[in-house]
Amino acid sequence: MNVVVFVLILALLAIVVAIVSAPLRRRPAVPEHDEQVPQAPLAADLAAAREAKYQEIRDAELDYRTGKLSREDYEAVDAGLRAEAIEILDRIERAEAEAGRSA
């Protein structure tokens, strides 16, 4: 092994150690409820569910407008979807209130 290769290996090792150890060298760990922490599991799940429900409402509307749903069926489906969306919004509100209280 020549010297250049040895130096290259050492440099690579140093870079790897620097990349991997950076989070460990920072100041104290960030607590779970800190704003830098990603969304809490429940909130993230509810946000995903809300987006999926909005998409479903839009899909139902497109199905109706393109003639795949009768007016009666659309109204029934749409009402059901809105009720489900409201339920999710309620749960998000409750989760936010709870998070606010615990903060």
Among residues 77, 40, 38, 36, the alpha carbon closest in space to that of 59 is found at 77
Q: Contact, 44 vs 38, CB < 8 A?
A: yes
CA distance 62 to 47: 23
From 14, 33, 75, 86, residue interacting with other proteins (rule: CB under 8 A): 86
From 3, 35, 41, 100, residue interacting with other proteins (rule: CB under 8 A): 41
Would you say 85 or 95 has its CB closer to other proteins?
Answer: 85
Using DSSP, state whether 49 is helix, strand or coil.
Answer: helix
Residues that bind other proteins (CB under 8 A): 1, 5, 8-9, 12-13, 15-16, 19-24, 26, 29-30, 32, 37-39, 41, 44-45, 47-49, 51-60, 62-70, 73, 77, 80, 82-83, 85-86, 89
